């Protein structure tokens, strides 16, 4: 039962995260990434939760008979702790990057018309295109136009 | 001969100590302190290279594996570090490339050198080394993150507009991939109850098919997007041309190869049968990666953009080696794997040399635009640089007697032997297109007159810049000429990678917990 609850929780978190990541607003993207890592943390956490329910701590050492079947597995929680620290660091770094971008925007370094658009610098292409990248194409077009003109005039 | 397994921790601990000491030197970095940092980093990476060579001699030379159980915890419970010949080859190459890039950076870097550049390189070295010796899934994840974190900072070091934009894309897509990797780790632990690779290899055989397919597929997505395979490579051309050329060189040489290494490690160990079942899938990914990379390289117009796209197309060749790893007809089984490993060796050396040379050309002229007349004339202005670029470019294209020729020949041989005619055809076509692309770089960038003079901000120190490139080019030629022993070592590595039982018995995972004191060490 508890596993089902976890599955639904992870699914909802993951869906929300992916929806947010696909937005063009960088703050939403950042929130989406945060949610995405949390969803995966919950997924890992879900592997330790079962119907056993006992914390892996011995209260009465003398009475312990070596039966560990009632204990919750503590390892995934250690894994999650590491993962949380890592994702926290990276999210903090992304915030710093976004802040730098914003500062550059305010200083007029970029030609963004909308500050909230992460790809507004080069709206034309996925390939981070700048004008010079496609000059060879312009050359080809120019050549073709010249040929056409000479053909028409003759 | 038995080797002390504690050597395995050196490639991880040494760069960490070096980076920490180098950071202690500087709260405010002056040129003098930068020089101290550089010296510390150079000493660290030279030592690291020697340790890696020692491990290489121990593993590939003696055909054995080394495993270190940290804190003497028995295998599935503690952290395990394992090195076989493949790991040791990668460690050695990493050490060599890191050393070359440090020298190159000393000759070319601008004020960004003062922003703790060398400690960051050492952190990157630590992450990459750790990923090569990690013996369980979670530590692999952690070392991936260590190297990614260092690479994020290196990529956006200086915070120029292009770098900030490229850095954002790089960070976002790589974080997604890492998180998917973490999700697989959770799925694996939740279902199989272990993360140790050797232990997983034992349990994976009994696992239901659905689980195996899910895990293998998610690993392919996670490692594939690190490696830059076909539908997952978009972060690479969007970011690799933005940082300083020294950073591009080390990224192009090392980072995607960590993803490839992980694929080469996981698939033969955990799902050897999927390598044959999924062969059409893997080979089509390889073909599409090669084609998209090389066509992309033809569509962009600055030196480092072109070379970044070539990183992608070359990754296709390595994935092709993985796809053909188990198929052998006339040739011995494992020849495909050996050819793939040999290709990785060739590619890491040549690609770094090429990116360094291309970057040096950009710095000398002040622009990387391939528009006619901008670059041009470099043959006359710095003939040595043009010379090493020429050799590296033709090695990448696969012209004999360079290492590129031998490595492509190996892959082609195994493709024909496995009667996969179409992939052989595609790889030949892509070789030809690569040659065309290299000729285009040469003609527009180096040959011919220079018309529009762009003033560079600071001319690189030519001696420090060309020396590491020349060294790498010489290594590439040596591998091409004396290919026999080098291929023999990749064959040893391939045999060890494919030998699951050997790996399992080296790590020797146990399901028993022995009370402390009952074990004999």
pLDDT tens for A101-119 read 888 777 765 544 333 444 4
pLDDT by 10-residue block (mean), chain B, 521 residues: 80 93 77 85 94 90 87 84 92 94 87 82 94 92 92 86 83 91 91 88 88 92 91 87 89 91 92 87 93 90 88 92 80 83 93 91 78 71 87 87 88 88 92 91 80 66 87 92 88 89 85 53 43
Q: Whole-angstrom Cα distance, residue B55 to residue B478?
A: 21
Going B320 to B321 to B324 to B328, the CA torsion angle's sign is: positive
Say what the alpha-carbon torsion angle B51, B56, B62, B65 is, to the nearest 10 degrees.
90
Question: Which positions in chain A touch B141 (Cβ < 8 Å)?
Answer: 83
Residue of A nearest to B148 (CA): A90
Residue B319: HSE in the Cβ half-sphere, 13 Å Cα cutoff: 32
CB contact (8 A) between residue B182 and residue A83: yes
CB contact (8 A) between residue B190 and residue A90: no
Please report, for residues B15, B70, B143, B502, the alpha-carbon distance to residue B5 in angstroms, rounded to integers and kept in the order given. 18, 10, 20, 17
Count CB-CB contacts under 10 A for residue B63.
14
Interface probe, candidates A128, A130, A131, A135, chain B, greatest B C-beta count within 10 A: A128
Q: Which two tokens stand for residue B154?
A: 């290196």
Stretch A50-56: mean pLDDT, rounded? 72
Please report whether residue B377 resides in a domain.
Answer: yes
Give the containing element (helix H, strand E) for B67: strand B66-69
Question: Which positions in chain B touch A41 (Cβ < 8 Å)?
Answer: 182
CB contact (8 A) between residue B176 and residue A76: no
Report pLDDT for A128. 41
CB contact (8 A) between residue A89 and residue B149: yes
Residue A130 scores a pLDDT above 70? no
Neighbour-count burial of A52, counting CB atoms closer than 10 A to its CB (0-12 exposed, 13-18 middle, 19+ buried): middle
**Mean pLDDT, rounded, of chain A:** 75
Complex ipTM:
0.85
Residue of B nearest to A26 (CA): B168
Q: Could you tell me whether strands B66-69 and B80-83 are parallel, antiparallel, or unpaired per DSSP bridges?
A: antiparallel
Residue in B167, B299, B302 nearest the CB of A97: B167
Q: Which one is predicted more confidently, A145 or B83?
A: B83
For chain A, domain boundaries: 1-54+71-117, 122-154
Q: Whole-angstrom Cα distance, residue B335 to residue B492?
A: 10
Please report whether residue B150 resides in a domain.
Answer: no
Least Cα separation, residue A135 to chain B (angstroms) = 7
Least Cα separation, residue A154 to chain B (angstroms) = 30
Report pLDDT for B183. 92
Q: Which one is predicted more confidently, B28 or A13?
A: A13
Residue of A nearest to B158 (CA): A100
For residue B302, give the 3-state DSSP assignment: strand
The total of structural domains in chain B comes to 1
Report pLDDT for A120. 46
Least Cα separation, residue B476 to chain A (angstroms) = 31
Please report whether residue B56 resides in a domain.
Answer: no
Q: Whole-angstrom Cα distance, residue B277 to residue B323?
A: 10
B interface with A, Cβ–Cβ below 8 Å? 138, 141-142, 145, 148-149, 152-153, 156, 159, 161, 164-168, 171-172, 175-176, 179-180, 182-183, 185-187, 189-190, 234, 237-239, 241, 296, 299-302, 305, 369, 371
Report pLDDT for A101. 82
Question: Which positions in chain B touch A29 (Cβ < 8 Å)?
Answer: 172
Give the containing element (helix H, strand E) for B69: strand B66-69
Please report whether residue B322 resides in a domain.
Answer: yes
CB contact (8 A) between residue B237 and residue A47: no
Please report, for residues B373, B394, B446, B452, B455, the alpha-carbon distance to residue B449 in angstroms, rounded to integers and kept in the order given. 7, 22, 9, 10, 16
CB contact (8 A) between residue A133 and residue B156: no
Report pLDDT for A69. 72
Return the CATH number of A1-54+71-117, one of 3.40.50, 1.10.150, 1.10.3470, 1.10.287: 1.10.287
CB contact (8 A) between residue A26 and residue B175: no
Name beta bridge partners: B82: B67
The parent domain of residue B483 ranges over: 278-501
Name beta bridge partners: B196: B136
Residue A133 scores a pLDDT above 80? no
Give the per-residue SS3 of B158-223: CCCHHHHHHHHHHHHHHHHHHHHHHHHHHHHHHHHCCCEHHHHHHHHCCCCHHHHHHHHHHHHHHH
């Amino acid at each position: 039962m508890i596993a089902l609850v976890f599955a639904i929780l992870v699914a909802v978190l993951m869906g929300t995260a992916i929806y947010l990541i696909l937005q063009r607003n960088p703050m939403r993207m950042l929130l989406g990434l945060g949610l995405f890592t949390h969803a995966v943390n919950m997924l890992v956490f879900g592997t330790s939760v079962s119907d056993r329910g006992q914390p892996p701590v011995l209260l009465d050492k003398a009475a312990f008979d070596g039966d560990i079947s009632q204990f919750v597995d503590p390892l995934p929680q250690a894994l999650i702790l590491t993962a949380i620290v890592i994702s926290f660091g990276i999210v903090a770094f992304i915030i710093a990057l976004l802040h730098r971008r914003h500062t550059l925007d305010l200083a007029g370094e970029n030609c963004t018309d909308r500050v909230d658009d992460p790809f507004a610098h080069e709206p034309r292409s996925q390939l981070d295109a700048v004008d010079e990248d496609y000059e060879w194409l312009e050359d080809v077009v120019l050549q073709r136009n010249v040929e056409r003109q000479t053909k028409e005039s003759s | 001969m038995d080797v002390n397994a504690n050597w395995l921790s050196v490639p991880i601990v040494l760069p960490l100590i070096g980076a920490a000491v180098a950071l202690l030197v500087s709260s405010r970095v002056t040129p003098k302190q930068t020089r101290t940092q550089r010296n510390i980093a150079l000493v660290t990476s030279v030592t690291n290279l020697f340790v890696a060579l020692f491990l290489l001699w121990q593993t590939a030379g003696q055909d054995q594996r080394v495993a270190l159980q940290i804190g003497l915890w028995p295998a599935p419970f503690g952290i395990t570090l394992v090195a076989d010949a493949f790991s040791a080859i990668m460690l050695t190459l990493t050490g060599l490339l890191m050393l070359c890039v440090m020298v190159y950076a000393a000759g070319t870097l601008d004020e960004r050198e003062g922003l703790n550049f060398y400690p960051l390189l050492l952190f990157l070295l630590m992450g990459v080394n750790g990923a090569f010796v990690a013996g369980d899934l979670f530590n692999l994840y952690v070392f991936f993150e260590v190297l990614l974190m260092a690479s994020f900072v290196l990529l956006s070091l200086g915070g120029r507009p292009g770098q900030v934009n490229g850095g954002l894309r790089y960070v976002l897509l790589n974080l997604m991939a890492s998180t998917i990797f973490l999700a697989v780790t959770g799925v694996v632990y939740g279902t199989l109850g272990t993360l140790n690779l050797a232990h997983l290899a034992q349990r994976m055989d009994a696992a239901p098919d659905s689980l195996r397919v899910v895990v293998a597929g998610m690993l392919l997505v996670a490692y594939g997007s690190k490696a830059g395979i076909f539908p997952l490579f978009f972060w690479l051309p969007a970011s690799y041309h933005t940082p300083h050329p020294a950073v591009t060189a080390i990224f192009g040489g090392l980072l995607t190869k960590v993803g490839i290494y992980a694929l080469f490690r996981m698939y033969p160990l955990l799902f050897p049968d999927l390598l044959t079942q999924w062969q059409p899938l893997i080979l089509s990914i390889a073909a599409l990666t090669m084609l998209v990379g090389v066509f992309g390289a033809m569509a962009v117009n600055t030196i480092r953009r072109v070379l970044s796209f070539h990183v992608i197309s070359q990754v296709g060749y390595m994935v092709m080696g993985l796809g053909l790893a188990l198929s052998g007809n006339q040739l011995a089984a494992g020849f495909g794997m050996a050819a793939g490993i040999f290709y990785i060796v060739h590619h890491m050396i040549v690609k770094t040399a090429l990116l360094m040379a291309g970057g040096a050309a950009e710095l000398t002229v002040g622009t990387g635009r391939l528009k006619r007349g901008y670059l041009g004339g470099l043959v006359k202005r710095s003939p040595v640089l043009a010379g090493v670029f020429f050799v590296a470019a033709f090695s990448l294209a696969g012209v004999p007697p360079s290492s590129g020729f031998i490595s492509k020949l190996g892959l082609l041989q195994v493709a024909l032997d496995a009667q996969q005619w179409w992939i052989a055809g595609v790889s030949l076509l892509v070789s030809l297109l690569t040659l065309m692309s290299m000729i285009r770089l040469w003609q527009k960038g180096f040959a011919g007159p220079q018309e529009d003079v762009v003033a560079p901000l600071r001319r690189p120190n030519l001696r420090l810049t060309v020396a590491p490139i020349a060294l790498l080019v010489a290594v590439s030629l040596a591998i091409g000429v004396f290919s026999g022993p080098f291929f023999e070592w990749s064959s040893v590595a391939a045999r060890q990678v494919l030998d699951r039982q050997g790996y399992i018995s080296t790590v020797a995972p146990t399901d028993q917990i022995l009370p402390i004191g009952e074990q004999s060490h």
